[in-house]
Amino acid sequence: MVLGISIALILASLLMILLVLLHKGKGGGLSDMFGGGFSSNFGGSSVVERNLDRLTVITGTVWFVCIIALGLLMRP
């Protein structure tokens, strides 16, 4: 059980990193420094951004549930 949740946590963590990096930069932060301002001029579809937001929230929820489940299973 712990092994399965740990694997799900690792996969959710990697997917979360990928999804966050796919988001479009919205300001003059670090994303603009590394080329986010260039790509934001071409613009993406709002439907794609909305779906990306939903997928990120779902992945974050799965990640959070895995953390709580591992905490409850590993406690003495």
24-51 per-position pLDDT tens digit: 766 655 555 565 555 555 555 688 888 9
What is the residue type of 56?
T
42 in a domain, yes or no?
no
* pLDDT recorded at residue 36: 54
- Does 4 map to a domain? no
Q: Is residue 34 part of a domain?
A: no
User: What backbone phi and psi angles, to 5 degrees, belong to 23?
Assistant: -65, 145
Label residue 62 exposed, middle or buried (CB < 10 Å: 0-12, 13-18, 19+): middle
Distance between CA 33 and CA 44 in Å, rounded? 19
User: Would residue 68 count as lying in a domain?
Assistant: yes
User: How many structural domains compose the chain?
Assistant: 1
Does the residue 37 lie in any domain?
A: no
Look at residue 66 and tell me if it is in a domain. yes
Name the CA dihedral angle for 47, 30, 62, 10, rounded to a multiple of 10 degrees. Answer: 130
21 falls within a domain: no
- 45-73 residue pLDDT tens: 688 888 999 999 999 999 999 999 999 99
* pLDDT at residue 32, rounded to an integer: 55
Among 66, 30, 58, residue whose Cα is nearest residue 21: 30
Residue 9 domain flag:
no
